[in-house]
Structure 1
Amino acid sequence: MDKLAEINDKLAAARIDEWHSPSGTRIDLPARGNINLPPFDVTYLNDDGAYATLTFRDFHLGGNNAAHGGQIAVAFDELGGYASAVAIQGVSRTAYLTVHYRSITPLNTPLQIRTWADRIDGRKVYVKGTLHDGDRLCAEMEALFIKLNPGQR
């Protein structure tokens, strides 16, 4: 515990606010450099949605060599935001996100994740998504994203 406290103290000295952090802004890195996200690489992003290769690592363990369900939801939230942003050409926030787990999602295996805007109603963007291990469906997602008003953070 003392070692961990020592490391945290060292890291605290280098802390910066979110607007100056490279985390989440490095498009040249998996998951835009955000170490809290399961690593993914976007392979395709256009009006049809977002397609990415995603690999859950040992850090995302839910038990029995399977990805934790919360980590699957985090991946869908991030890639759902991509699909929403493309659909509305702007920034949105998650209003709700529902994941339907269909089969075990393995760790350390390249998976395919796809999200797309199913429909748009004013500022509301309804997004759907799928997560596959080859031909096997691991999970499906449905979500609502809300487009931010001008000047809204």
Structure 2
Amino acid sequence: MQFTYEPVDAAEAAAQRAVYEPFTQAVRELLDATIRTRAGAEDIAAAQAAIEAITATLRADQMDGPFGVRFTSEGEGMSWGNPVIGVRNPMAPPLTVEHGDDRCWAEFELGAAYEGPPDHVHGGISALILDHLLGEVASGRGDRPVFTGTISLRYLRGTPLGRLRCEAWTERIDGVKTYARGFISDAEGPTVEAEGVFIQPAWARQ
């Protein structure tokens, strides 16, 4: 399979996903294991050599630059390199975003790779997720391209690692600006709230 910037049909996209999604999940597990392992020096050295060999294999045939945003021939987006939802980005939890009327949400789990204060999510990770969800709802599922103009967050309390929910909704649209709000919550309620202004770029206003 060769990746190009030309659209692929749904069947080819599904075939690529079947190959790369479980591989990326395995790398996510490696990230978590790397943080939490108690292996000794010899085992770490052996693991490092194996990882370096695998990296060399992957580097032997790769694209120039980032993955970008690609589309199937049916118009479905393939943001597979995205750090929040990317199925090929082991940094991404990843989030699976659900949509309703002027609202979107996702339930997900954050573990050791996302820790800031002990046992809690790094505030920058919360900002990353909220920026993505607010942008997602402001874009109308991609029908209205937008970029973040401003975003502000209010941290109500620490966000514990573990199972979480993020929700966002559109408040209003004023010309090229879309105003959105959202929050991250745990089982006890919201931990972080956000509001943002998202702006339609000049090239998308025609």
> For residue 90 of structure 2, what is the aligned residue in structure 1?
35
51, 59, 62: which is aligned to 1:15? 62
User: What letter is aligned with 1:63?
Assistant: P
Deviation, 1:23, is: 7.2
Closer, same or farther: CA 20–105 of 1 in aligned 2, 3 Å: closer
Q: Secondary structure at the match of 2:125?
A: helix
User: What letter is aligned with 1:142?
Assistant: E
User: What letter is aligned with 2:201?
Assistant: L
Distance in 1 of aligned mates of 2:137 and 2:204? 21
Q: Deviations over 1:17-52 (max 9, x none)?
A: 4348797249xxx8241433332222x313231111
Q: How does 1:1-150 map to 2 (within 5 A)?
A: 10-16=57-63, 17=65, 18-19=67-68, 24-25=79-80, 31-33=85-87, 34-42=89-97, 44-86=98-140, 89-107=143-161, 109-150=162-203
Closer, same or farther: CA 127–98 of 1 in aligned 2, 3 Å: same
- How high is the sequence identity, in percent, across the aligned residues? 25
Distance in 2 of aligned mates of 1:119 and 1:86? 12
Are the equivalent residues in 2 in contact too, given 1:96–1:143 (CA < 8 A)?
yes
Q: Which runs of 5+ in 1 are unaligned?
A: none
Are the equivalent residues in 1 in contact too, given 2:69–2:79 (CA < 8 A)?
no
Closer, same or farther: CA 87–38 of 1 in aligned 2, 3 Å: closer
Closer, same or farther: CA 139–5 of 1 in aligned 2, 3 Å: same
Are the equivalent residues in 1 in contact too, given 2:156–2:193 (CA < 8 A)?
yes
Q: Secondary structure at the match of 1:63?
A: coil
CA RMSD of aligned residues (A): 3.0
Which is bigger in relative contact order (C-alpha 8 A, separation at least 6)? 1
- The number of equivalent residue pairs is 147
Runs of 4+ that moved beyond 2 A? 1-15, 17-26, 34-39, 148-152
Larger gyration radius, structure 1 or structure 2 = 2
Give the alignment's TM-score, normalised by structure 1: 0.78
Closer, same or farther: CA 91–151 of 1 in aligned 2, 3 Å: closer
Are the equivalent residues in 2 in contact too, given 1:126–1:144 (CA < 8 A)?
yes
Q: Secondary structure at the match of 2:139?
A: helix
Give the alignment's TM-score, normalised by structure 2: 0.60
Q: Secondary structure at the match of 1:145?
A: strand
The structure whose residues are more often helix, as a share, is 2
Deviation, 1:133, is: 0.6
